[in-house]
Structure 1
Amino acid sequence: MIPVAKPLIGEEEIKEVEKVLKSGFIAQGPKVAEFEEAFASYVGVKHAIAVSSGTTALHLSLLSAGVKKDDEVITTPFSFAATGNCALYIGAKPVFVDINPKTFNMDPELIKEAITKKTKAILPVHLYGQPAQMERINEIAREHDLVVIEDAAQAHGAMIKDKMVGSIGDMACFSFYPTKNMTTSEGGMITTNNSQMADMARILRAHGEKERYQHVVLGYNFRMTDISASIGLVQLKKLDGFNKKRIENAEYLTEHINEISGIEPPYISPEVKHVFHQYTVRVKEGKRDNLMEYLNQEGVGTGIHYPIPIYKQKLYQDMGYDDNCPETENAASEVLSIPVHPDLSIEELEKIVISLEAASDKVF
């Protein structure tokens, strides 16, 4: 089976982990600080705060930005559940707006009508590695005095013109889960140019301590370990190479998928660098599940990201959500992710294409 995602861990990462284990600094220590400095430099921001996951990065960012109980956070329903759940953690309310059917990202033109007196923040997601329309989102945020927090969990190294994702909003959140474009095993990162927000995030991740045993706010244990940071430092050096291979693989797939009826390859917005965390096609005529089953039988791994809009999850249904986002629901019934990770060989890419071509006769 060709996996739909695959972490690439080499001898360099193993050696660095071994050094940390022998050093005695295995919790948050000098390697975390080094990783933060390197990641901030890569993204082009003043501050990077390493945390235990992408989810905790989202949670702390909202708190650090001043989002409170009963505030509203505008976001997309077409994402992993953590994007909405992070608002619930602090008693705020996620408010969902529909997506652009081409990019799968939140449609900025629907944001204004979702803004109320309770709105505090906009949380766009750079889904699959394609940047959201940040220029328009920031413009709307400035008009209404709102905070913008980028969910960049799937977009390490993605760019809009000459700006790196993670440096465009007030804050941004990255995930280093094993399937992401780079990994630390588990882990996350907050990036920002706002020193006040950065300071609060650092306090909140460590039990609310401003100084040792001086707890100034209710905080959490959301710290990254030096073990994870040592992996991240090596992976960060490899990230551009990983992304280059992802983009090349995506170009190969698109070139061949364009000739297959019933399957629509990903759209890439002008002036962006899409880093293809996922290569996600749309499958027409209600044949998505049939195609997925056929590809799996042929040894080609697949994934559905995401089959259920967040507001249709039982948690949200029990809370009374009855949203109607037709583009999101259409996408949820049609999207299928196929392998694009940087470890694919040309033989595996050819096998994926051959299987898709055969499916055009047998499935459609």
Structure 2
Amino acid sequence: MKTYSYGRQSINKKDVDAVVSTLRSYFLTQGPKVAEFEAKLCHVTGAKYAVAVSSGTAALHLAVLALGIKRGDQGITTPMTFVASANCLRYVGADVQFADINSSTGLIDPTEINKKITKKTKVLIPVHYAGQSCNMEAIAKIAKKHSLFVIEDAAHAIGSLYNGHPVGSCYYSDLTTFSFHPVKTITTGEGGAITTNNFALYQQLLMFRTHGIIQKPEIAPWYYEMHGLGYNYRLPDILASLGLSQLSKLQHFIARRSQIVKKYRQAFAGDSRFTVLQESSQSRSAFHLFPLLLNFDQLTKSKQQIFTDLLSHGLKLQVHYIPVHFHPYYRNLGFKPGDYPIAEAFYEQEISLPLYPSLSDQDIKSIIKIIKEVVK
């Protein structure tokens, strides 16, 4: 029986050759491939500066550090995300507040953001869920009105556009973070990046990425100073070389993902058992995920039964996401079920279908057939 997961990497000989070439080179880390990868990210996003790091979580952590977010401050993000979007605030001692989502897109609702702003609020962290950009025009207006920073969490959205601007251009934000985990549109194995147009923030990111250290060759060739409490969040050249190879195929990956999404939409949009998320006319998604909502008022099976039955047919799906405030850590901070009802209802309905470039048209037909037969 053929099996399908919700996402996986797409690696070919070119990728392998790029990594092997770096393995045979002088630099395995702290070498030229990282700078090449960062330059390519700037080219793809249109941002002035890019800093490659060891993970998307590291990218978020460095972003809040660079902005000077600290204990006593507050940041607002969505509950419909991976925990890292909120955890980055906790890493620096800041408080987390959530704003509920738009049920038709899964994206944070700017109206809900407005309701959550207090005197402590310093930063907004919208998440481009599934690859579609949030309403950054509205979010940027809110940020400007209240003198807030904006970090775009674009872990899902490398290659996406909003109002014609590449996600990562920071046209509407101070910084944008990316993840290059294997299930993402491109991968470095593990890895991430931050883009910005602010040189001072760029300098902070570089410093915090490497232990808070600044090289001082004007004093002596070996001399360096530690100016802040930084981290080892460097991305090795081995992984950067994979990222460079993957970036060269980004548009191909997006094109194939878009073809698959079109087939899913055609199959499920007119079926009362399912709801397909809406796409904004302002956004062109790179489609990291294809979330499908199950309308349980039309079904007899529970979500757990459906998952079990799909697994027996070879479909290893996932749910994106368990709302962040449901996790024990955040419950211990005072959050509880019922706080964000739209995100909670979304979670109850959502499943993520297989979406990666190596899926054939026949694979898609089989996946659609299985889902339609199982979901009853």
Instruction: Give the TM-score normalised by the residue count of structure 2.
Output: 0.93
Does the Cα contact within 8 Å between 2:325 and 2:335 map onto a contact in 1? yes
Aligned pairs for 1:81-92 within 5 A:
81-92=83-94
Deviations 1:190-214 (A, max 9, x none): 0000111011000000011121531
Q: Which residue of 2 aligns with 1:186?
A: 190
For 1:204 and 1:303, how far apart are their aligned partners in 2?
A: 34
Counterpart residue identity of residue 302, structure 1: L
Q: Which residue of 2 aligns with 1:325?
A: 340
Does the Cα contact within 8 Å between 1:6 and 1:343 map onto a contact in 2? no
Counterpart residue identity of residue 330, structure 2: Y
Q: Which residue of 2 aligns with 1:340?
A: 355
TM-aligned CA deviation for residue 158 of structure 1: 0.7
Distance 1:260 1:355, change over 3 A: farther
Q: Which residue of 2 aligns with 1:303?
A: 318
For 1:200 and 1:265, how far apart are their aligned partners in 2?
A: 41
* Local SS of the residue matching 2:24: helix
Does the Cα contact within 8 Å between 1:52 and 1:223 map onto a contact in 2? yes
TM-aligned CA deviation for residue 289 of structure 1: 2.9
For 1:349 and 1:113, how far apart are their aligned partners in 2?
A: 42
Output the aligned Cα RMSD: 1.2
Confirm or deny that 1:263 pairs with 2:267. Answer: no
For 2:118 and 2:333, how far apart are their aligned partners in 1?
A: 20
For 1:290 and 1:44, how far apart are their aligned partners in 2?
A: 46
Q: Which residue of 1 aligns with 2:211?
A: 207
Q: Which residue of 2 aligns with 1:241?
A: 252
TM-aligned CA deviation for residue 356 of structure 1: 2.4
Q: Which residue of 2 aligns with 1:281?
A: 292
For 1:3 and 1:337, how far apart are their aligned partners in 2?
A: 9
TM-aligned CA deviation for residue 284 of structure 1: 1.3
TM-aligned CA deviation for residue 15 of structure 1: 1.0
Counterpart residue identity of residue 331, structure 1: F
For 1:283 and 1:133, how far apart are their aligned partners in 2?
A: 25
For 2:91 and 2:315, how far apart are their aligned partners in 1?
A: 37
* Local SS of the residue matching 1:111: helix
* Local SS of the residue matching 1:103: coil
TM-aligned CA deviation for residue 217 of structure 1: 1.0
Q: Which residue of 2 aligns with 1:290?
A: 305
For 2:191 and 2:208, how far apart are their aligned partners in 1?
A: 16
- Pick from 291, 304, 315 the counterpart of residue 329 of structure 2: 315
For 1:207 and 1:247, how far apart are their aligned partners in 2?
A: 40
Does the Cα contact within 8 Å between 1:60 and 1:204 map onto a contact in 2? yes
Among the aligned pairs, what percent are the same residue?
38
TM-aligned CA deviation for residue 23 of structure 1: 1.0
Q: Which residue of 1 aligns with 2:218?
A: none
Deviations 1:286-317 (A, max 9, x none): 643333222222222311111x2111200111
151-160 or 315-324: which moved more?
Answer: 315-324
Instruction: Give the TM-score normalised by the residue count of structure 1.
Output: 0.96
